[in-house]
């Protein structure tokens, strides 16, 4: 496995300016590592690639094999940190049209997601999609009380019980939640569902490398061992306290410097539609970790070249408060050669013999240059290919960078107090007992 390559030369930030943060970074690094084993600190993700629960990992692999044998569809119910990581990896590693491939041609169950919105059409479309197919469910909620997944689970549990009867439905339900508390935990204990644990010291948005992400990812036929190996190599590489040799911390510092220059929106860019949900995962990671105390870089995502035809104008010439981080996949999994056409009516014969990936890469190079010239600083993150090991590295890279970046900003990157505000209003409007006078 090759290491990620991080290129800061188009950020407009000099190495000297970055290294001025060395002392501060070392201080935060030592603070993070000294608290890593403290159950109260939400730092469990820091050593997860070495300290994960090996017994549970085997149970995840076993459960995934059972689902692969007895189900055509695996419905993952969860929201925010309880689904985005799984979806990011599943979509990055499977066909762009995985759910449309006929079952007899699919080696693994189709992994689909519910409980991440409250829209009735979405739920009915899933019911229609499932049709006569065999189904298992994984409901994921750390608190065990989040409204969206709780409602979806109530609906799909009944659906499953009607389809298979209560006994068989029990063997098709997998619950990922807290090890002791919450309504979901109680329900799972009472019904005897197979349970997986979200460790106390791992927050939702940092939980993809626990059962939260690993079970759905394994069901989709993706090698979770390799995913962990990739994360482990990043854990080792970025455990370096010296900023000079740590690109992960440099990324955090560059963000901080750019933020200080009023660059308060970061665009994470991909040239691979399969990375769409990786960007969604990243948006939550940074948005929820840093957006507080009236501070924070707004994390946004764009997919090129698609969005160059919709957002390109703004990025090139709109308000100059943007910077970009580009995810570059060095080798595409497959490629297509552009063939000659005698008539050349489309004028494309100048590309004969070139491949689509080559054109995509030239579009990337051209766009980076145009945007940098237009005062959009650019960091380029290159991974060799889109596989489990590289995704594992990338996940760990961003989690650690996010922790460092939040600390540099002076916020607590592990809480999310603001998420509660809408819930209080919604519960009052819905008449939830206890919310009448809020």
Does 230 bind ligand PA5 (CB under 6 A)? Our answer is no
User: At a CB cut-off of 8 Å and minimum separation 6, what does 156 contact?
Assistant: 75, 77, 114, 137
Does 288 bind ligand PA5 (CB under 6 A)? Our answer is yes
Smallest gap from Cβ 430 to ligand PA5, in A, equals 17
Candidates 187, 215, 204, 259; CA nearest to 399 is 204
> Facing residues of 114 across strands?
77
Stretch in the footprint of ligand PA5 (CB under 6 A) among 53-61, 185-193, 202-210, 309-317? 202-210
Candidates 398, 403, 148; CA nearest to 275 is 398
Does 116 bind ligand PA5 (CB under 6 A)? Our answer is no
Note if 423 is an active site residue: yes
Smallest gap from Cβ 11 to ligand PA5, in A, equals 28
Candidates 5, 20, 8, 25; CA nearest to 241 is 25
Yes or no: say if 112 and 126 are a contact pair by the CB < 8 Å rule: yes
The single residue of 20, 244, 337, 423 carrying the catalytic annotation is 423
Smallest gap from Cβ 146 to ligand PA5, in A, equals 3
Candidates 103, 119, 196; CA nearest to 155 is 119
- Closer residue to ligand PA5 in complex, CB, 52/414: 414
Sheet containing 173-177: order of strands: 110-114, 73-77, 135-141, 173-177, 194-197
Using CB under 6 A, pick the residue from 75, 79, 243, 275 that binds ligand PA5: 79
The single residue of 91, 148, 280, 288 carrying the catalytic annotation is 288
CA 108 from chain centre, in angstroms, equals 21
Note if 288 is an active site residue: yes
Which of 359-367's residues contact partners 24+ apart within 8 Å by CB, and which partners? 360/271, 360/305, 360/332, 361/271, 363/271, 363/304, 363/305, 363/308, 364/271, 364/304, 364/326, 364/328, 367/304, 367/305, 367/308, 367/312
List binders of ligand PA5 among 123-152 (CB under 6 A).
Answer: 141-143, 146, 149
Rg (CA), the chain: 23
Note if 362 is an active site residue: no
Question: How far apart are the C-alpha atoms of 273 and 31, rounded to whole Å?
Answer: 37
User: How many residues in the shown chain lie near ligand PA5 by CB under 6 A?
Assistant: 14
Candidates 386, 337, 340; CA nearest to 357 is 337
Using CB under 6 A, pick the residue from 204, 299, 301, 406 that binds ligand PA5: 204
Smallest gap from Cβ 143 to ligand PA5, in A, equals 3
- Closer residue to ligand PA5 in complex, CB, 203/301: 203
Question: How far apart are the C-alpha atoms of 22 and 19, rounded to whole Å?
Answer: 5
- Closer residue to ligand PA5 in complex, CB, 210/246: 210
Smallest gap from Cβ 414 to ligand PA5, in A, equals 9
Using CB under 6 A, pick the residue from 203, 216, 230, 413 that binds ligand PA5: 203
Smallest gap from Cβ 30 to ligand PA5, in A, equals 25
- Closer residue to ligand PA5 in complex, CB, 268/383: 268
Stretch in the footprint of ligand PA5 (CB under 6 A) among 78-86, 124-132, 251-259, 372-380? 78-86
Q: Is 264 helix (H, G, I), strand (E, B) or coil?
A: coil
The residues binding ligand PA5 (CB under 6 A) are 79-82, 141-143, 146, 149, 203-205, 288, 416
Residues labelled catalytic: 288, 309, 423
């Amino acid at each position: 496995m090759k290491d990620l390559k991080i290129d800061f030369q188009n950020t407009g930030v000099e190495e000297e300016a970055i290294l001025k943060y060395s002392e501060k970074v070392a201080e935060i690094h030592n603070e993070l590592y000294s608290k890593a084993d403290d159950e109260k600190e939400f730092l469990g993700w820091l050593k997860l690639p070495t300290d994960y629960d090996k017994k549970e990992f085997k149970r995840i692999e076993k459960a995934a094999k059972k689902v692969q044998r007895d189900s055509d569809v695996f419905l993952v119910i969860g929201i925010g940190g309880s689904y985005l990581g799984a979806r990011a990896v599943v979509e990055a590693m499977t066909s762009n049209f995985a759910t449309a491939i006929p079952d007899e041609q699919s080696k693994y169950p189709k992994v689909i997601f519910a409980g991440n919105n409250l829209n009735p059409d979405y739920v009915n479309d899933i019911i229609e999609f499932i049709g006569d197919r065999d189904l298992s469910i994984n409901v994921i909620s750390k608190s065990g009380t989040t409204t969206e997944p709780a409602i979806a689970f109530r609906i799909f549990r009944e659906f499953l019980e009607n389809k298979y009867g209560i006994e068989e439905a029990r063997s098709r339900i997998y619950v990922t939640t807290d090890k002791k508390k919450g309504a979901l935990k109680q329900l799972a204990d009472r019904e005897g569902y197979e349970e997986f644990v979200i460790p106390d010291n791992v927050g939702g948005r940092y939980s993809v490398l626990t059962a939260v992400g690993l079970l759905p990812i394994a069901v989709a036929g993706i090698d979770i061992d390799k995913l962990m190996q990739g994360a482990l190599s990043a854990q080792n590489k970025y455990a370096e306290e010296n900023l000079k040799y740590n690109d992960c911390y440099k990324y955090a510092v560059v963000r901080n410097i750019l933020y200080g220059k009023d660059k308060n929106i970061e665009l994470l860019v991909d040239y691979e539609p399969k990375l769409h949900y990786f960007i969604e995962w990243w948006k939550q990671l940074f948005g929820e970790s840093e957006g507080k105390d009236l501070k924070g870089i707004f994390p946004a995502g764009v997919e090129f070249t698609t969005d160059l035809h919709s957002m390109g104008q703004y990025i090139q010439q709109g308000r100059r408060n943007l910077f970009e981080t580009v995810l570059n996949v060095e080798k595409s999994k497959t490629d297509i050669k552009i063939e000659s056409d005698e008539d050349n009516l489309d004028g494309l014969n100048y590309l004969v013999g070139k491949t689509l990936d080559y054109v995509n890469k030239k579009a990337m190079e051209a766009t980076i240059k145009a945007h940098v010239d237009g005062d959009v600083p650019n960091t380029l993150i290159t991974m060799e290919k889109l596989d489990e090991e590289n995704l594992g590295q990338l996940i760990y890279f961003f989690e650690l960078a996010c922790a460092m970046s939040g600390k540099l900003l002076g916020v607590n990157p592990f809480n999310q107090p603001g998420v509660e505000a809408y819930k209080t209003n919604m519960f009052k409007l819905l008449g939830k007992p206890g919310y009448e006078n809020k």
